[in-house]
Structure 1
């Protein structure tokens, strides 16, 4: 029996069918559901009053809310991963660009037409929506829309209907200019860019609601720099030198962007990336929490570990160490407040290369077995990441990447990172094989939790992590 071939847009079709059955008003803004080509991003207009119902249906079909429109009013973005393929819903409650409404959504939904079993905008509204989307959002006439817009030009003759939509926004003359010189506009993007500026000014002057939303966006962008609740999440990557952090993080960043999850990087390692330039003070005062007499032992030149310091030598060392860690905590707190927290308030996904918890492994590449409780205490004051990932690989692979590490240093480093994973509930991601294998493991075990947490933060609810066994707290081949 031959396997039935599923339509590439079945998930979208099923969602739209449920919306129709529940009488949730929607209209497709740009896509044609009759196509046999896979649709990656589905732009859809939904009645503002029915967004709660839409949100419920989207969740029931496996879509996560990844952008809630806080900095882009009247627009939400949902994501579902289906066998490694991203399905994205760009949901609008207004026909809008960056706070500027250019078509009455209530009229557009009232005039929508059912074509091939799915609701679309009426031809005149479709022409206005698609044309000004290209002008405002793209600043050019996109090649993929050029032929469709050309076909829609026949409706430009329906002056009475078009003017009823364009007049409230003051766009009649601009629309006539665009349609009257369409071929020239397509060939000369500079003309479209100039018209885009005029269109934005016209929309701001004509509609108070547009002025309000533009001001609201600007105010919120400033606000999140200084206060507000966390709307995003932070995912941190730790691991011994040679575990492939840079390569793995770059691959994960690219993959997240590819599936529609924008992200920002922040370096939160304790031994570099200072924004307060405290290294000068640390050098002048010789503040270093590492005993010089441990060097020979760590490098294997002597077999016996040095004993505890005594007298004033111990007092001086402990004083220098406490001062060092106090300055380090101040630096790391500043980095969190300046580099990370504003992004979290924006609703961003922040990826951190290393974390303050790296101090638990020692000092730079040097393992230390003193100040353990002090370092643990300091880490308890620092914000815990939403998702933590310890990167690990077989000793042979790590040594091949970082041959300057001694066997003792490597064993100690991997052991402590394994303890960090167990203590804080972090994932362990094996990087011994190819980047592709590591990325596949990330998508299978860790990405679902990231999406749930992004969604949960937006709704201010406790994230419900999928019940599959996502966490692997045992280190890879320790």
Structure 2
């Protein structure tokens, strides 16, 4: 993902920071910079007094290198910046950190860390000793289930071996003699799993240290962290949500399109599939189980698990249909609050493969036998995605790809989708007779236009 343009941007940012006399340093994973990058992003710790100026420098570097889109997520002391270019098909991720805190608690302030800065290939980095100490602290502190990668374990061990006296002295100062003896012994034996098991004790000791160091600052920082989390996830989550839905008849190529779209978005956001930057859901949030599953558990009916034919079952009677659509609508309303808020908290994109609009276009799939106007009422009750892509192709083309539906049914659904697309600007028609890359490329541009600046 890292290329010559990314290298140029990084160099421009670091040179400009130095020209403006802004103290900074790059935090770990810098060995191959600027030409290469072992990580997905670059972490730059900035003197807190100049964070706004540093932010402007990064934006300017993105603009100077023709990155059309900019997205920033600010939380506590972290500014997560993304520069993206649809024209150049690239993305770069630079995190600006103006204070290294965990849940508002600060162990080392910027001035303390800056004492250990050294120059490397023309830019400033944190020295090996403090880098190892930071890894030991911040990869465990505050986590319920800490995850310490193998390369981080090696870096901690190497720092301990190289700076043994300093390492021992600092752990005693932070954790107290009893706990530090256990930690040092485990590090010397590379027994990091036992250190991870002590995460609650480590967190408790570090909180105590932060409070002792500056009780008011620790209290203020923790309250600020809690307020930002409340504001981000509870009060203003609509401001941060990114929700997309994909619609189209069976056989139009939704699955292939979604795979390619996710690949392209991961490129722009500099993510790997395992990072789960995109949370893909099928039809609904699914906080409630399928009605067939409920019926089987209560021994009222046997669940139909033949999914090869979407119209395999007869529609339910009107009363049962009303209960069914109400049940699914409730799942959308409650599930949206749970799923989308969680995705906002983790800075993820929420993507639906099909959505409640199927109640209008394809009621047979959900076994609904209700008037269209009533189905529309229930759809209006469901939360609406920011962008809805509708894939369209010639009915004969779709039928030749997948014969799960009759040609007449495909034609009918296509007409319904066209009517739906005219009802609101959130709907975007995508010509599905093109290559998946071309379809996803058009969709990616729409997403960047919607959610990036």
Same fold (TM over 0.5): yes
Contact 1:275 1:331 in 2 (8 A): no
Deviations for 1:388-432, whole angstroms, at most 9, x for unmatched residues? 212334534532443131111111212222333344333334555
Between the aligned partners of 2:109 and 2:228, the Cα distance in structure 1 is 25
The 1-side partners of 2:327 and 2:199 are apart by 50
Counterpart of 2:278 in structure 1 is 263
- SS at 1:385's partner residue? coil
Aligned to 1:419: 419
- Secondary structure of the residue aligned to 2:364 is coil
Cα 1:28–1:389, aligned 2, differ >3 Å: closer, same or farther? same
Matches within 5 A, 1:123-142: 123-133=128-138, 139-140=147-148, 142=150
- Give, in angstroms, the shift of residue 42 of structure 1: 1.1
Indicate if the aligned counterparts of 1:267 and 1:352 stay in contact, CA closer than 8 A.
Answer: yes
Structure 1 pair 101–243 and aligned structure 2 pair: CA distance change class (3 A): farther
Contact 1:239 1:391 in 2 (8 A): yes
Partner residue of 2:203?
A: 200
Specify the structure having the higher radius of gyration (Cα).
1
Deviation at 1:86, TM superposition (A): 4.3
Alignment of 1:291-370 (within 5 A): 332-340=332-340, 343-344=343-344, 347-364=347-364
Aligned length in residues: 405
Q: Structure 2: how far apart are the matches of 1:340 and 1:64?
A: 22
> 1:443-462 maps to which residues of 2 (within 5 A)?
444-451=441-448, 453-454=450-451
Once the two structures are TM-superposed, the CA of residue 27 in structure 1 deviates from its matched residue by 0.9
Matches of 1:335 and 1:134, distance apart in 2 = 31
Q: 1:416 to 1:95 in 2, by over 3 A?
A: same
State whether structure 2 residue 46 is matched by structure 1 residue 22.
no
Cα distance in structure 1, aligned partners of 2:418 and 2:360:
11
**Change in CA separation of 1:320 and 1:206 when aligned onto 2, cut-off 3 Å:** closer
Match of 1:190 in 2: 193
By how many angstroms is 1:351 displaced?
1.2
SS in structure 2 at match of 1:446 = helix
Once the two structures are superposed, the pairs formed by residues 6-405 of structure 1 within 5 Å of their partners are 6=4, 9-32=7-30, 35=33, 36-39=35-38, 40-60=40-60, 61=62, 62=67, 64-65=70-71, 67-69=73-75, 73-81=76-84, 83-97=88-102, 99-109=104-114, 112-133=117-138, 139-140=147-148, 142-143=150-151, 146=154, 150=158, 153-158=161-166, 169-170=174-175, 182-185=187-190, 188-208=191-211, 228-230=236-238, 231-249=240-258, 252-253=261-262, 256=266, 257-258=271-272, 262-268=277-283, 332-340=332-340, 343-344=343-344, 347-364=347-364, 371=371, 379-380=379-380, 382-405=382-405
* TM-score after normalising by structure 1: 0.66
Post-superposition shift, 1:75?
A: 2.7
Q: Is the contact between residue 263 and residue 348 of structure 1 (CA under 8 Å) also seen in structure 2?
A: yes
Native 8 Å contact 1:8 1:38 kept in 2: no
Deviations 1:91-131 (A, max 9, x none): 32223455553322232236533333212224543342244
Deviates more, 1:193-202 or 1:77-86: 77-86
Pairwise CA RMSD: 4.6
Give CA deviations for 1:187-213 in whole Å, capped at 9, x if unaligned. x33233135443222112222356776
| Alpha-carbon distance in 2 for matches of 1:393, 1:387 | 20
**C-alpha contact (below 8 Å) 1:266/1:339 kept by paired residues:** no
Q: Distance in 1 between matches of 2:204 and 2:184?
A: 20
Work out the CA distance in 1 between the residues paired with 2:396 and 2:389: 21
Where does the alignment leave 5 or more consecutive residues of structure 2 unmatched? 212-216, 301-310, 312-316
Structure 1 unmatched ranges of 5 or more: 285-294, 296-316, 456-463, 465-478
Change in CA separation of 1:378 and 1:49 when aligned onto 2, cut-off 3 Å:
farther
In structure 1, C-alpha distance between the alignment counterparts of 2:276 and 2:155, rounded to whole Å: 30
Distance 1:193 1:352 in 2: 36
In the TM superposition, residue 183 of structure 1 has moved relative to its aligned partner by: 4.5
- Contact 2:135–2:156 (Cα < 8 Å) also in 1: no
The equivalences for 1:455-470 within 5 A come to 464=453
The CA distance in 1 between the partners of 2:198 and 2:177, in whole Å, is: 13
Distance 1:352 1:122, change over 3 A: same
- DSSP 3-state at the match of 2:107: strand
- Residue 33 and residue 21 in structure 1: after superposition, are their counterparts in 2 closer, same or farther (change >3 A)? farther
